[in-house]
Amino acid sequence: MIALIAGRGHLPAELLDRLPTRPLVCAMAGSEPDQVDAEIIFRVEQLGSFLERLKAADVTDICLAGAVARPHIDPSAIDAATLPLVPVLQGAIALGDDGALRAVIAILEQSGFAVRAAHEIAPDLLMEEGIPTKVKPGEIDKADAERAASIAAALSAVDVGQACAVRSGQAIGIETLFGTDWMLANLAARPDGQGGLLFKAPKTGQDRRADLPTIGPATVEGAAMAGLNGIVLEAQGVIVLNRDEVIAACDRRGMFLWLRQS
């Protein structure tokens, strides 16, 4: 049996639509999903007891899907089953996103669960190399994509973000803790006018079983409002929700979508 630990956003709902049998949907308190209903909500201070509950329910596999906030641990709420995990949890919270997820995955695996990626359950969430839109990137866009890939690699080296915006070889936006939508919203007031592209790719060496970068139709609208010409994604490295709607939105906005090999 699979347990889906769901966070915010549309990814958990996309997975539920694709699975032949409904998994046990769970959520961490403070990061409850906004698109699906969770059957179990657990506090991080009772993680050990929660994992014991999953074993009792014959759960063998866990999938992490959706955005979650970093929890604050209340020492007075830690139960006996979680006490041995506290040093790892505290260390994970202090790390960057990838480091934190690696620590959480390690806890799950050491507890006897197999951690499965969202795209392992639903491979069609990833897109192959190509340009499915009517508009194609030009030579300047290709140069900007190369530059953006270098910037994204530099960001991943310090475990910061998975996206950036580039125009004429210059970074005009970098994803931080607040995410891609926040970055694009801030670019809407950019002083340099129009042009450039949004680039998204996994971090170098990232454990791809959780927190793969994701876009959906709202990302296209945000990029359009930011005055960007298109979106470049690492082929087979970025989850695309509602891909037909994403392509249609790009065509409607006169933007390109380029699935690029790294």
pLDDT recorded at residue 205: 81
Segments making up each domain of the chain, as ranges: 2-121, 126-260
Q: What distance lies between CA 145 and its chain's CA centroid?
A: 20
pLDDT given at position 96 = 64
Same fold, 2-121 and 126-260: no
- How far apart CA 180 and CA 187 sit, in angstroms, is 11
CB atoms within 10 A of CB 247: 18
DSSP state of 206: -
Q: How far is CA 229 from the centre of its chain?
A: 23
Q: Which helix (H) or strand (E) holds 2?
A: strand 2-6
* 164-211 confidence digits (pLDDT tens): 999 999 999 999 888 999 999 999 888 988 999 999 999 888 888 887
What is the separation, in whole angstroms, between the first and last Cα of the chain? 35
126-260 homologous superfamily: LpxI C-terminal catalytic domain (3.40.140.80)
Tell me phi and psi for residue 76, to 5 degrees: -70, -15
pLDDT band at 67 (very low <50, low <70, confident <90, very high): confident
Tell me the fold of 2-121.
Answer: Rossmann fold (3.40.50)
| Residue pair 15/36 in contact by the 8 Å Cβ criterion | no
Q: What does the pLDDT average to over 85-101?
A: 75
